[in-house]
Structure 1
Amino acid sequence: MKRMVPVLLASVLLAGCADEPAQPVEPQPKPAKKTKPPQPDRPSAAERAEKQLKETVSNMSTAEKVDQLLYIGVTGTALTQADRTLLQDHALGGVLLLGGNITSTDQLKTFTAAIAEAQPADAKAFLGFDEEGGRVSRVPDAQLKLSPSLSFGQKNDPALMKEVGQTLGSISRFYGFNMDFAPVLDVNSNPANPIIGDRALSADPQQVARLGVPLMQGMKKEDIVPVVKHFPGHGDTTVDSHVGLPRVDATKAELEQTELVPFKRAIEEGTEMVMVAHILFPALDKNRPSSLSKPVMTGVLRDELKFDGVIITDDLVMGAITEQYGLAQAASLALENGADMAMFSAPGAYTSVHKEIMARIKQDKLSRADLDQKVIRVLRLKQTYDLSQTKRVDEYQRLIEQVKAVEADMRH
């Protein structure tokens, strides 16, 4: 019996426990989550590139910055020692070749390769020419020449225009260029015009816009920088600006309804470079041609049309400019009034032009902040494209077939 005592005691104790009211269980607080301190937003690749670009410009001398704003011509049909030295010692904005620089396919390809090789490895220049097809063509091989823009424009086919743009791009690369001064966005609105005519896509501004944009996009697809021209519009002139200064007496409203329509569309669709013509538009500026005019380049192109790409002048070695201005003076005025690049084909003019611009910067006629912004625009565009010879097209026979195909599509 003694052994049962502990068992009974245990039973009583258990019974007593069972009769006691249950104590509420306190909920255990959940461990606090560890919160990470807020992380700053990581800059995007574009933001990092822009920051690097600004740092690059801040480390450049004033003389180096001016170099980037000059688009120069060179002497003869082969690279002279003087031009080679100039290209080696100065990271220039661009080099252009005209008809007088070109004699044959082999000569041109050798010339462009020599120009590219002479430049600093980390600072390539734009290398451009006028290849529109038709009357304005620098291509030395007849098998690679396209019909005038008006012929393609009459087909009124945007898809065909994109193919034409790609063909122009491939031809440009074949000869070693990375930029083409095309497409022409002038409206062929004046039958008496001695300079535009069939270089324009149409006499209808809406059709020029509709066809000019895919032409531009086709060139970009081949990694060629397209340069739309001749802003604000050369189609209603009766004087050739190579000879004298044309004048267009249209009102601002008339310009907005006609000449500006294709440029406005191109800007909306991402054009990156605009060439400004040497024309007097009294409705915009009573005193200076458009290529030297602040109301035209800064007022209309920048402020009204919201273009933030590169503005380049047409060749300043034209009668429209040289009749009234010296080359160095004209280049300086162009940059001071809104252009980012001053283009001049006169060989050997680099030193005098550069010296004049440097002097005017010291006089604060061109502010250093404005200078930096121009250089940033030029370098930003250079970073967007492959300016080297690596994209060179060497399939000559394929190019001939490409030209034949777009010509056949245009005729059928």
Structure 2
Amino acid sequence: MPSPTAVRRRRVAVASAAAVALFAGVAIGAGDEEAPTVREVRDVVRASTPTPTPSATSAPGEQPVDELTLKQQVGQLIVLRFQGTTAPAYVRNALRKRWTSGAILFKDNITDAAQLKRLTRQLRRASPDATPIVSTDQEGGEVRRIAWAPPASGQAGQVPGRDAKAAAQALKAHGLNVSFAPVADVPTSAASAMRGRAFSTDPNAVARATKAAVEGWRAGGVAATAKHFPGLGGATTNTDYGSASIAGAPTTADLAPFKAAIAAKVPLIMSSNARYPRLDPDRIAGQSSRILEDLLRKELKFQGVVITDSIEAASVRATGSTEQIAVRSIRAGNDIVLTTGQGSWLRAFRALEAEAKRSKAFRERVRTSAARVLALQENLS
């Protein structure tokens, strides 16, 4: 019979091998040249396996978040993206281990209604301990990932409450529970990058429509996301393709729709990838505590989940590496980092965990955000 020491060593080896297999699936299957190599993954696993994970709080068990390990708390702070029309093994494993809170689906993940239902069932079954975030962009018009689902027209042509409810019912029927809509931006010029996606150029009309849309999405059983805080209407460059700086923003007009969304108890708000020099000349909104903590949390009293826009956007990539972006985003006040590049999830996960182990203050920040995400999941269906 092997000695207790030998048994412990064997268990550590098995755990390490399993972790390597999981993460290697990401590195090999991601198809992204920036994805970490199998050797890098193995080095991380070897270095971290024997070391106990620090407790995120001195009194575990007091709240649901305290029942999660640090890795699981970190996992709640990431929504990932994958390729293909079925969920890869690494995605299912990450959901099962709670090393991610969910996934975002794009057009290349969707072929028809039957396939989409199979895919969302896969994602849900992979997460037996929590309802995963199963999300997409379904604004209407040019941004409509599920082509056969409403709303067919862009936001300017919608009846906000009615069309949002119809869209929510369609998404829910196909297994999705979060929509990254409505757009709450107020275009301020004909050159605005958001002009074709907004409800109106009238801030009062946008505020009314945003409120109605949030309520419509809720009535249809899907969580809405007001975007892009604190207002992207003054940007003439799409932040997906280049950096944008909006002088003088946010104005009262920019903030009116977000105030309306908060009054309607919108569950999520997406932070903007533009820069707002009046509030923070050095950082984009998604990496600015002045914008997310001081303005959104303290002044506007938002208590829900704040999620980044895609960290693969050109305006974000210009600010640093995936690791730096992930840590800065959470430290600034986001609760979820939206990773849409293949392989970015693993890099963000590793960086957030490492920073949480290094810094007690950041570890508490992780815990706070994980608690918010858990509360959101409790209300998802």
Whole-angstrom distance in 2 between the partners of 1:366 and 1:106:
46
SS at match of 1:197: coil
Matched, 1:131 2:135: no
- CA deviation map 1:52-81 (0-9, x unaligned): 995222222111100111111112222222
- CA deviation map 1:309-348 (0-9, x unaligned): 1110001111111123111210111001111111111233
Structure 2 counterpart of 1:382: 377
Superposed CA RMSD in Å reads 1.9
Q: Which amino acid aligns with 1:307?
A: F
Matched, 1:55 2:63: yes
- Given candidates 99, 111, 115, the residue that maps to 2:107 is 99
Contact 2:230/2:255 (CA < 8 Å) preserved in 1? yes
Whole-angstrom distance in 2 between the partners of 1:266 and 1:82:
36
Whole-angstrom distance in 1 between the partners of 2:326 and 2:187:
29
- Given candidates 211, 230, 239, the residue that maps to 2:209 is 211
Structure 2 counterpart of 1:82: 90
- Given candidates 145, 151, 158, the residue that maps to 2:157 is 151
Whole-angstrom distance in 1 between the partners of 2:286 and 2:360:
17
Whole-angstrom distance in 2 between the partners of 1:365 and 1:55:
19
Matched, 1:288 2:283: yes
Whole-angstrom distance in 2 between the partners of 1:144 and 1:304:
35
Structure 2 counterpart of 1:342: 337
Whole-angstrom distance in 2 between the partners of 1:208 and 1:148:
13
Structure 2 counterpart of 1:244: 242
Q: Which stretch has the larger CA shift, 346-355 or 283-292?
A: 346-355
Aligned length: 323
Q: In structure 2, do the counterparts of structure 1 residues 197 and 385 end up closer, same or farther at CA, with 3 Å as the change threshold?
A: same
- Among the aligned pairs, what percent are the same residue? 28
CA drift of 1:267 comes to: 1.0
Matched, 1:182 2:181: yes
5+ residue gaps in structure 1? 1-51, 153-159, 387-412
Q: Which amino acid aligns with 2:164?
A: G
Q: Which amino acid aligns with 1:187?
A: V
Whole-angstrom distance in 1 between the partners of 2:380 and 2:131:
11
Contact 1:71/1:344 (CA < 8 Å) preserved in 2? yes
Structure 2 counterpart of 1:4: none
The structure whose Rg is larger is 1
Q: In structure 2, do the counterparts of structure 1 residues 79 and 359 end up closer, same or farther at CA, with 3 Å as the change threshold?
A: same
Contact 1:54/1:376 (CA < 8 Å) preserved in 2? no
TM-score normalised per structure 1: 0.75
Structure 1 counterpart of 2:41: none
Q: In structure 2, do the counterparts of structure 1 residues 102 and 243 end up closer, same or farther at CA, with 3 Å as the change threshold?
A: same
Q: Which amino acid aligns with 1:248?
A: I
Whole-angstrom distance in 2 between the partners of 1:365 and 1:294:
18
Contact 2:103/2:133 (CA < 8 Å) preserved in 1? yes
1:212-291 equivalences under 5 Å are 212-251=210-249, 255-291=250-286
Q: Which amino acid aligns with 2:110?
A: I
1:343-362 equivalences under 5 Å are 343-362=338-357
Whole-angstrom distance in 1 between the partners of 2:215 and 2:241:
32
- CA deviation map 1:213-240 (0-9, x unaligned): 0111011012201011111111111111
SS at match of 2:306: strand
Matched, 1:173 2:172: yes
